[in-house]
A and B are shown apart, each in its own frame.
Chain A
Amino acid sequence: MSSRVSPWWALSLLLLSVSPLWMGCSGGGDASSSSGSRPREVELLHVSYDPTRELFEAVNERFVARQREQNVNVTVRMSHGGSGRQARAIIDGLEADVTSLALAWDIDALVREGQLLPDDWASRAPEHASEWHSSPWYSTIVFVVRRGNPKGVRDWGDLLRGDVSIVTPNPRTSGGARWTYLAMWGWAHRQEGGSDATAENALRELYRRVPVLDSGARGSSTTFARNGIGDVLLTWENEAHLLLAEHASDGLEIVTPASSILAEPPITVVDRNADRHHVRETADAYVQFMYEDEAQEIAAQHHFRPRDEAVAARHRGELPQLELFTIEEVATSWAAAQERHFGDGGLFDRISERRPSEAAPR
């Protein structure tokens, strides 16, 4: 009798089981008014790159406390991953209100591929120092070696000796690895008689000695420290310190070369998302907070080099002096570096195409 049941009945039952999802997850920002004494609820999504987990955990705690004084209840949600992967996720719809990535090029991609923020983002904040390229602190690339530095690695040149095995991530996917790549390129160029040819050769020799090319800085750290692969790890200065602390019993050592690259990881508001979520004010305050004493001090404690002179002076002993050259000096600009080195058919591709025939030393 009741055999005639419309298929739509059953189908709607099926869809009903999924329906709570669509409601719960759209929006996410705050639109609530700040009426009376009830604190305003604001939620920020900060999408960041890999080696900043501990840093922003500490910074966020302070920022939330600061905002609470102004009767604003902020929740900062974090997402971490390789810089390139995170940039792509934002372009594909991960609705970051704030983003901090390993290099300006990845934020430029948000402008180029997604028109998510204006192309002058790098000179917006802080107002008093546009030459900082929106990076509240800087860092550089250093070496991590095993206990007692058995291979005697002191500077970039030592990496090119035949018996040294090196761990560093893939420049095509990792921001830190691009800085590493350009540091090697810059160092070779700045040697006596240095030229494109010698620099190219140095890079080829470098990557020939890499047995494991992870996709991100964290992966390389794990490969080096936990899995015991390689004699030298090339990585961010802050990541190196973190690694030493995490593997204190292994006796790993940091070697700071005489010169390296000035690495500037920027942080910026993602305008279109922050505006759509109506959290622009808080997002701006968040980015601005990074330049304040409190955040600068935390950054220094996490082994980033603070911009603030006073804070930097307090930590001078922990951060050895070295000569830092900029990307503009060695590659003109990120766009130029991308085209010449990291794009399809770029130098890095040509270097690695040779890999299969030449076995890397293990």
Chain B
Amino acid sequence: MAESRDQHARERPHGLGLAVAITSIALLCLLVLAPLAIVLVEGFADGVGTFVEAVTDEATVSALVLTLTVVAIVVPFHTVFGIAAAWLLTRQDFRGKALLGTLIDLPFTVSPVVSGLLFVLLFGARGWLGPWLRDHEIRIVYAVPGVVLATLFVTLPFVVRELVPTMEAIGRDEEEAAASLGAGGWQILWRITLPRVRWALFYGCVLCGARAAGEFGAVSVVSGHVRGETNTLPLHVEILWGEYHTAAAFSVATMLAASGLVTLVLRSFLERRVRASKRAASAAADASAAVALGEDTPMKGALS
């Protein structure tokens, strides 16, 4: 039971162990820390003035606004979808469940470029729905909706994949007990399920948001690269890089790297919570669900 990471006694490495530790950490620094460091170094290479100039440039700001808009649409969308899909996959029994799970996982393994291509083939002027969309003055590909759709596709599995294992670990006994006592669907969701998976849900949203902000390949295919309109931050980084504005490219990249770092901090914080909630949930599985239903749990406030 007590296999928490921090309860593990750690030893001071010596001999062969020391060699393993040094080699591993050195390679980790070389492979992963160095790229992060170079982003920060190059971002400020031409001084803080250049950095501020690059970051407050009109094109950068509009790219930032678009990126935040995309995140603001994608994350709530996937929160609702994630809860629905996780409920379906862990709390319902039906035929074709495995297929549905695979379909939800699929975007994770599809190349970003192919993800973008899918939407060009579907909504492009010569695609399936292209002529109809044009007749109705609806622009999807090479406009903001295309960017949003491609991002929605790429981030589809993130929230679901965090919720499903947690909800499986918790089990459905409590919900079933509540249902047999006559509780309604929304009541069960709000009072029983969500309070127990809130960290996993939040964690999934963080991952989903990070990926949405940083998606490059898929968005690059459907964006059209119109300055001030369909350029997201990662695309803007690529453009600046291509225009020889190395320092500016890295300055803007610093913003993205910073969002990545925030994700990491949240991640290490949340990961512990998610584990703890899994353990707590399974330990409390025997507790009566009726109690939880009758009282207003303090967890309710955390979600509203």
Touching in the complex, A and B, CB below 8 A?
yes
B141 at the interface (CB under 8 A from A): yes
The answer to whether A5 and B186 have CB atoms under 8 Å apart is yes
The answer to whether A222 and B184 have CB atoms under 8 Å apart is no
Identify A25's interface contact among B124, B145, B228, CB under 8 A. Answer: B145
The answer to whether A114 and B126 have CB atoms under 8 Å apart is yes
In Å, the complex CA distance between A3 and B239 comes to: 52
The answer to whether B77 and A5 have CB atoms under 8 Å apart is no
A17 at the interface (CB under 8 A from B): yes
Interface string of B222-266 (1 = CB under 8 A from A): 001111110000000001011110100000000000000000000
Q: Which residues of A contact B200 (CB under 8 A)?
A: none
**CB within 8 Å for A92 and B81 given contacts A5-B186, A18-B73, A114-B125:** no
The answer to whether A77 and B226 have CB atoms under 8 Å apart is yes
A136 at the interface (CB under 8 A from B): no
B142 at the interface (CB under 8 A from A): yes
Q: Can you list 21 A-B pairs with a CB-CB distance of less than 8 A?
A: A3-B185, A14-B77, A17-B73, A17-B76, A21-B73, A22-B145, A25-B145, A77-B226, A77-B229, A78-B226, A79-B225, A91-B125, A91-B126, A92-B120, A92-B126, A92-B141, A93-B125, A93-B140, A94-B224, A113-B126, A243-B244
Q: Which residues of B contact A22 (CB under 8 A)?
A: 138, 145
Q: Which residues of A contact B81 (CB under 8 A)?
A: 14
Number of interface residues of A (CB under 8 A): 42
In Å, the complex CA distance between A74 and B292 comes to: 63
Identify A226's interface contact among B138, B141, B186, B246, CB under 8 A. Answer: B246
A341 at the interface (CB under 8 A from B): no
In Å, the complex CA distance between A50 and B120 comes to: 22
**Interface size grouping (class) on chain B:** 35 or more
Min CB distance A177 to B, Å, is 16
**CB within 8 Å for A14 and B80 given contacts A78-B226, A79-B224:** yes
The answer to whether A89 and B224 have CB atoms under 8 Å apart is yes
A249 at the interface (CB under 8 A from B): no
Identify B139's interface contact among A3, A89, A93, CB under 8 A. Answer: A93
Q: Which residues of B contact A218 (CB under 8 A)?
A: 242-243
B71 at the interface (CB under 8 A from A): no
Residues of B within 8 A of A (CB): 73, 76-77, 80-81, 84, 120, 123-127, 130, 134, 137-145, 148, 184-187, 224-229, 239, 241-244, 246
The answer to whether B77 and A89 have CB atoms under 8 Å apart is no
**CB within 8 Å for A92 and B125 given contacts A17-B73, A21-B145:** yes
The answer to whether A18 and B227 have CB atoms under 8 Å apart is no
Q: Which residues of A contact B80 (CB under 8 A)?
A: 10, 13-14, 17
A230 at the interface (CB under 8 A from B): no
Q: Name the residue of chain B whose CB is nearest to the CB of A225.
A: B244
The answer to whether A77 and B126 have CB atoms under 8 Å apart is no
The answer to whether B244 and A222 have CB atoms under 8 Å apart is yes
In Å, the complex CA distance between A221 and B137 comes to: 39
In Å, the complex CA distance between A27 and B81 comes to: 30
Q: Which residues of A contact B225 (CB under 8 A)?
A: 79-81
In Å, the complex CA distance between A25 and B145 comes to: 8
